[in-house]
Amino acid sequence: MNGQLPRWVDYGLIPLINVTIAFFVAGLVVIAIGENPLDVVRIMLRGALGYGEGVGFTLYYATDFIFAGLAVAVAFHAGLFNIGGEGQATIAGLGVALVCLALNGQPWWLVAPLAIVAAMVFSAAWAYVPGALQAYRGSHIVINTIMFNFIATSAMVYLLTHVLKPMGQMAPETRTFDVATRLPFMKDYITPLGYDLGQSPLNLSILIAAAACVLVYLLIWRTRLGYALRTVGTNPTAALYAGIDPKRITVIAMIISGALVGLIAINEVMGTHHRLFLGFTGGAGFVGIAVALMGRSHPIGIALAALLFGMLYQGGAELAFEKPTITRDMIVAIQGLVILFAGALEHMFRPALERMFITARAATA
Amino acid sequence: MTAPAPSGSAPPTSAPPAIELVGIDKRFGAVHANKDINLVIPKGTIHGIVGENGAGKSTLMSILYGFYSADKGEIRVDGKPVAIRSSQDAIAAGIGMVHQHFMLVDVFTVLENVILGAEGGRLVAKAEARARAELHRLETEYDLAVDPDAVVETLSVGLQQRVEILKALYRGAEILILDEPTGVLTPSEADHLFRILRQLRDQGKTIILITHKLREIMAVTDHVSVMRRGEMVAHLTTAETSMEKIAEAMVGRHVLLEVDKGPANPGAVLLDVSGVSVRDKRGVTLVDNVSFQVRAGEIVGIAGVAGNGQSELIEAITGIRAPTSGTVTVNGQPVPADPAKVRDLGLAHVPEDRHHMGLVLPFEARENAILGYQDDPRYGSGLMQDAGAILKTCETQMAAYDVRPPTPRLRTSLFSGGNQQKIVVAREIERDPKVLVVGQPTRGVDIGAIEFIHKRLIDLRDQGKAVLLISVELDEIRSLSDRVLVMFAGKVVGEVAPSTGEGEIGLLMAGVAKDRQGKGAGA
């Protein structure tokens, strides 16, 4: 069945076709509201890649999506659908904020390792509970992770309004971290070298994201744990036969998945906004699902898909700015179309392509 | 009862054949599944189609039943060309199929299953009344008695199969295709099925029987067609041929149907199963106080119809499931409920179902070569796996067991059934275990590989290992084992010598003749 297609088709051509179709349909929508789709594409591309600041923003968005995509992918390899990234990252934000506030004024290079550990531990703990409930109580991971998203938001509302908000301030957010404690912006390093990143919030987190891609690749395909994880994910009965405990692996996979998505808080709380506020995740946890689907749960694919979604976010923002007829909601619709075609309809063109390649191969054979 | 009564066969001269396939050709990519197949099946006959796995039998029948369409060729039913593009077309042309895996809704009654998809209106009451009358007619005409109001899941497998046949007849099938129909039946149920088939033939129905059991071909068919590598290689009249000839046509060379082995030389007890019972979550007893021993240098076979507790017994022995009571020891050591630890005691396990348990099909072959031994220090220490060592292990095993293609990086699902099984057997035997538990070692495996695997099991025995063989293939049990235990309803109901007649073992398997002490009269 599967595996009849060359890898470059499986991982390259099919996603490309899906994205092309998505843009084509989006183009029809643009025509319907009386705009020129080519214009729209030009504005989006220029906005996302045309100048330093745009590139900076694109990569900044992509950083979140990489963390979220990797998290979904790791769980997915173990046969789990973690859609609680949003809540897990929110809780991670709490960990990061607590560390940064406690060590306020200390240099970032001292605080960052602790903040990273806090982010990963807090969100891993938040993912552990649904994981353990799934493994030992059989309550469904999807339901539990969704509910944990709501619990995380509610808990955050309480903490921000009752505990963490400084006296005399209206907005439900913590105080801003000291300049020394903030994770440095990439623009501070890159712009002096001659490439102007403008005011983009791209920060050191993107390097952590790159490292995470490599580590996840090693974890899944090179380690003994990864082998056990994939065995449980593809054939739990065979895992039992092989003496691998699916329950234990379920819990471990959720912990790793949670730890990865928690790094969004490093990018957002410590790297960009320098304070904790409600909804800092901006839906990245959910976009991660589409990113992982589109990237076929492979770190390289996830990095590319994250980049594409980063471009959509940044290009979309510019588009909404330049074309008043195309509202923010329009952009969301286009993103939705990409998710629809790249994720949900992933297999739509596969059978036709398989037939094509098989006949082509038979003809040459 | 080898020669079937030719009385019922319609004279092939006058009437057009029930089915005629002319030049059927089908390719799946590089695989040429059916090459220019010609086949004539006269009306009112039972026609066997045999061939190894992957010979193209299923493809051919799928074309006939409308699951695939042929690239070239023509299908004629009663002399008239028909275009069969879906199973509805096939049913309209009077072709019915009884699948190997039943297509029944377990929680529906027999009646509901029969009318499913043929309700013929928005309300079922009318259809039910019609079906009830029709079932009654079929029942009397063909001796196909089933209670129309029984819920399917409460019926025995043999009766469920009867429901499938009734379904096809209810839809007006004149031509009935049966795909491996006896795989799940006891010998006596199979005999009953054959009686039904003969009766259907005598009433003018045409029957196509797909099977790999040559014994059945000899017992029930009028003609037999042999397929090999997508081609029809022989059309034989059953009464004029022999099992050996058919086997030779299937494989293309002379094959040993009998396993060549010397007498056993049993030594110390290596596997001791004592009073083992297994109950499931609902408290149903699946394995009931089973005790036996397997000694070094012997093969003990467990015969039984599938679903009589064999699977659960294997799971209890190999540590996959903790027995509710009783103990299992390997080489004197008690077995814990952890397959990894059981392997460390020197027990290897070739599971019954390689697709669901023995292999992870989407994995590459090299990854499956270490399944169950993934924590062995040879394949990596600390966090990382040692890819080089794993690859080398896989290459060695593939060479020793002649796995084709010998490509460790090929996805396991792309190997043929026989080669997949060789990957499993190689992995388990190459570890030099003391005890080997092997379930259905040759299910879905071609004749060449069966010969090979059987020889390996005998070799293992002769090296002084203890082998426990569980199989639903009575022939396999009888030819390989030194002692045979028979399981029925979770109990070991008897121990017999492998030379015991099939009839007698069959009765034990069916739960009849519980105490056959002394005289083996039933055979």
Put simply, the answer to whether A238 touches B371 (Cβ < 8 Å) is yes
Least confident of A66-75, A172-181, B44-53, B244-253: B244-253
Q: Is B384 on the interface with A (CB under 8 A)?
A: yes
Tens of pLDDT, residues A236-273: 999 999 999 999 999 999 999 999 999 999 999 999 99
Residue A242 included in any domain: yes
For B352, phi then psi, to 5°, come to -60, -40
Same domain, A145 and A192: yes
- Closest alpha carbon to B494 in B264, B292, B299: B292
Tell me what pLDDT residue A70 has: 98
CA atoms A217, A220, A224, A225: torsion sign: positive
Tens of pLDDT, residues A292-323: 988 889 999 999 999 999 998 899 889 888 88
Look up the CATH number of the domain holding residue A234.
1.10.3470
- Closest alpha carbon to B28 in B65, B58, B64: B58
| CA gap A2, A17 in Å, rounded | 18
A223: nearest CA partner in chain B: B384
Put simply, the answer to whether B320 touches A241 (Cβ < 8 Å) is yes
Q: What is the mean pLDDT of residues B175-193?
A: 85
For A182, phi then psi, to 5°, come to -75, 145
Q: Which amino acid is at B368?
A: N
Residue A50 included in any domain: no
- Closest alpha carbon to B457 in B445, A195, A85, A200: B445
Identify all chain A residues contacting B356, using CB atoms and an 8 Å cutoff. 235, 237-238
Residue A40 included in any domain: no
Residue A291 included in any domain: yes
Same domain, A110 and A171: yes
Tens of pLDDT, residues B244-256: 888 888 877 776 6
Same domain, A301 and A344: no
Tens of pLDDT, residues B410-469: 989 888 778 899 999 999 998 889 999 999 888 777 777 888 899 999 999 999 999 999
Put simply, the answer to whether A243 touches B340 (Cβ < 8 Å) is yes
B321: nearest CA partner in chain A: A240
Q: How many residues does chain A have?
A: 365
Tens of pLDDT, residues B472-510: 888 889 889 999 999 988 999 999 999 888 788 888 887
Same domain, A196 and A139: yes
Q: What value does the mean pLDDT of chain B take?
A: 87
Same domain, A164 and A263: yes
Tell me what pLDDT residue B14 has: 64
What per-residue string of b and e applies to A39-60 under the rule 16 or more CB within 10 Å gives b?
ebbebbeebbeeebbbbbbbbb
Tell me what pLDDT residue B29 has: 67
Same domain, A230 and A358: no
Range of A263's domain?
Answer: 58-311
pLDDT band at A363 (very low <50, low <70, confident <90, very high): low
Asked if pLDDT for residue B519 goes beyond 50, the answer is no
Identify all chain B residues contacting A222, using CB atoms and an 8 Å cutoff. 384-385, 387
Same domain, A339 and A208: no
Put simply, the answer to whether A227 touches B367 (Cβ < 8 Å) is yes
Nearest to B343 among A238, A243, A359 (CB): A243
**Among A273, A291, A311, where does a domain finish?**
A311
pTM of the model: 0.80
For A293, phi then psi, to 5°, come to -60, -50
Instruction: Set out the domains of chain B in order of their start, with CATH numbers.
Output: 44-70+85-94+174-257 (3.40.50.300), 104-173 (no CATH), 269-509 (3.40.50.300)
Least confident of A30-34, A348-352, B31-35, B115-119: A348-352
Put simply, the answer to whether B341 touches A223 (Cβ < 8 Å) is no
Residue A337 included in any domain: yes
Identify all chain B residues contacting A359, using CB atoms and an 8 Å cutoff. 29
Residue A30 included in any domain: yes
Same domain, A102 and A63: yes
Residue A52 included in any domain: no
Q: Is B385 on the interface with A (CB under 8 A)?
A: yes
Q: Is B391 on the interface with A (CB under 8 A)?
A: no
Same domain, A4 and A89: no
Same domain, A236 and A99: yes
List CB contacts of A136: < 8 A, sequence separation 6 or more: A247
Same domain, A304 and A329: no
Tell me what pLDDT residue A4 has: 59
Residue A46 included in any domain: no
- Closest alpha carbon to B335 in B275, B272, B429: B272
Asked if pLDDT for residue B521 goes beyond 60, the answer is no
Tens of pLDDT, residues B398-421: 999 988 889 899 989 888 778 899
Tell me what pLDDT residue B517 has: 43
Asked if pLDDT for residue B168 goes beyond 60, the answer is yes
Put simply, the answer to whether A243 touches B367 (Cβ < 8 Å) is no
* Window B:8-27, CB contacts with A under 8 Å: 27
Angle (CA) B449 B358 A223, round 5°: 125
For chain A, the domain total comes to 2
pLDDT band at A278 (very low <50, low <70, confident <90, very high): very high
Interface test with A, best of B341, B367, B373, B374 (most A CBs within 10 A): B374
Same domain, A194 and A151: yes
What per-residue string of b and e applies to B378-417 under the rule 16 or more CB within 10 Å gives b?
ebbeeeebbeeebeebbbebbeebebeeebbebbbebbbb
Tens of pLDDT, residues B110-143: 999 998 887 777 778 888 888 899 888 888 888 7
Q: Is A1 on the interface with B (CB under 8 A)?
A: yes
